Amino acid sequence: MTVKQYYQDAYVKGFQTSIQDQKQDQSGWYVVLEETAFYPTGGGQPHDTGTIMDKRIINVEEVNGEIRHYIEEPFEDISGVVEGQIDWKRRFDHMQQHAGQHILSAAFAEALQYETISFHLGKEFLTIDLNVNDISEADALQAEELANRIIREVRPIETKWVTEAELSDYPLRKQPAVTGEIRLVIIPEFDYNGCGGTHPRSTSEVGAIKILDWEKHKGHIRLQFVCGERVLYQLHRKHGILKELTSVLQAPEETMVPTAEQLIAKQKEQEKALEGLKEVLLTYEAEGLLGVQKDGFTLIQKVYSDRPIQELQKIAQHIVSKREEAVVMLVVQNDQKLQLVAAKGSLPAINLREVAQKVFPLINGKGGGKESFVQGGGEAVMSKEELLEILINQL
Ligand SMILES: [Zn+2]
């Protein structure tokens, strides 16, 4: 088996060979084999994993024409015949996804003249980038349908080595980047591609193709899809979530969306109602605060912990709107912050802004407002009671 051969027969799961060399690079220990069936990362397809004798192959990379099989620890003895085993579940999954990508890209080109400009084979799903700005649901369905028809028609997937001169005999969508002898992957009368990846013998082995979603990405459309076993996995997982939601929402699949929409609308309504009730409660709270008589005004004061300053504003505003002779001083401590609100009715001849400006520097704080209403805050370098006392002494 030469390096070329593992491309030609993608179905080799186990093989015998010998170890040519054992070396180390920055990625770790690796062996080079006389012949190999392990696929190295390349052409958008991830590397194989598996074993050589009792050693796990954790990565396979091609570096300067050398295929490096990375192992967790080196062999003590590299002489004699060794047995290699490909992790077939992983490899066959890659074959299904990779060939599925050929088929879906060709379907988009055939049905809609949308060209694939790049693709990625991820752990969960694949993506292709199409050279269009937008795509409709109907477009996606049309390409998906054609792709699945090609799968059902059990078309052969053939590989052929050709010279550069022979390339013009084939209707390739894209000129291969490599020169010299070129490997073509052919689905007759449907797709002709220069490709070095591993493929099943027929389209039927891809099983099925399902487009999941798409989004705009750098002026193109990035489309997510799955092939083969991954279609079943997605169905299983998504159905599991739907089943759980059926019991959470107490609604069957068919009415799940309107049920969820109703719940969210109801929640928003309740939040609004709660907001209104809070306002009412704050006015009662404001009216319950008692004042003490001073020279020409009534002083109403209070300290709080852990309350939004907006509530203090509302309390103060409510009081001074009802009582023209009132001066209100409220202080709250929220964590390491001290905040204050001061307000007055129309009668007392006091400039609250001037009062507060004298106090803010004492708590390394700042604030603002007008003569009749001021607010601000700073650091809790003193207690809230102390701050209130200092404020009142300024009156
Ligand atoms: Zn390919």
pLDDT digits (tens, 9 = 90+) for 207-261: 999 999 999 999 999 999 999 999 999 999 999 999 999 999 999 999 999 999 9
pLDDT at 126: 96
Task: Output the CA 159–ligand 1 centroid distance in Å.
Answer: 9
Tens-place pLDDT, residues 66-79: 999 999 999 999 99
**Chain segment 321-363, per-residue pLDDT in tens:** 999 999 999 999 999 999 999 999 998 899 999 999 999 999 9
CA 11 / ligand 1 centre spacing (Å)? 15
Query: 234 C-alpha to center of ligand 1: Å?
Result: 23
Q: What is the pLDDT of residue 4?
A: 46
Q: How far apart are alpha carbons 267 and 272 in whole angstroms?
A: 9
CA of 193 to the centre of ligand 1 (A): 7
CB-based contact 78:31 (threshold 8 Å): yes
Ligand 1 centroid to 212 CA: how many Å?
Answer: 22
CA terminus-to-terminus distance, the chain: 97
Sheet order of strands, 298-305 included: 292-293, 298-305, 326-334, 337-344, 373-379, 366-370
Residue 230: per-residue pLDDT: 98
Query: Ligand 1: distance of its center to the CA of 194 in Å?
Result: 8
Q: What is the mean pLDDT of residues 280-295?
A: 91
- Residue-wise pLDDT tens digits, 8-23: 578 889 999 999 999 9
What was the pLDDT predicted at 296? 86
pLDDT classification of 43: cutoffs 50, 70, 90: confident
For residue 179, pLDDT over 80 is answered with no
Percent of the chain whose predicted confidence (pLDDT) is above 70: 98
The residues near 93 (Cβ < 8 Å, ≥ 6 apart) are: 228, 229, 230
Distance 98 CA to ligand 1 centre (A): 6
Distance 85 CA to ligand 1 centre (A): 22
Question: From ligand 1's centre to the CA of 97, what distance in Å?
Answer: 10
Ligand 1 centre distance from Cα of residue 125 (Å): 17
Of all residues in the chain, the percent with pLDDT exceeding 90 is 85
Please give the distance, rounded to the nearest whole angstrom, from the Cα atom of residue 328 to the centre of ligand 1: 78
Query: Is residue 6 very low, low, confident or very high in pLDDT (cuts 50, 70, 90)?
Result: low
Distance 152 CA to ligand 1 centre (A): 19
**How much distance in Å is there from the Cα of 198 to the middle of ligand 1?**
6
Rounded distance from Cα 281 to ligand 1 centre (Å): 69
Write down the pLDDT at residue 8.
Answer: 52
For residue 91, report the distance from its CA to the centre of ligand 1, in Å: 13
Would you state the pLDDT for residue 181?
86
- CA–centroid distance, 101 to ligand 1, in Å, is 8
> What is this structure's pTM?
0.76
Ligand 1 centroid distance, CA of 120 (Å): 12
| Alpha carbon of 233 to ligand 1 centroid (Å) | 23
Q: What is the arithmetic mean of pLDDT over 292-312? A: 93
Q: Model confidence at 388, in pLDDT bands (50, 70, 90)?
A: very high
Long-range (24+ apart) CB contacts under 8 A made by 20-29 are 21/78, 22/74, 22/75, 22/78, 24/74, 25/63, 25/68, 27/59, 27/61, 27/68, 27/70, 28/70, 28/71, 28/72, 29/70, 29/71, 29/72, 29/73, 29/74
Residues 6+ apart with CB under 8 A from 216: 133, 134, 222
* Torsion, CA 45, CA 51, CA 57, CA 58, rounded to 10: 70
Average pLDDT in the 251-272 region? Answer: 95
- Which pLDDT belongs to residue 173? 80
- Distance in Å, CA 307 to ligand 1 centroid: 64
Would the pLDDT of 65 be above 90? no
Q: Output the average pLDDT for the chain.
A: 93
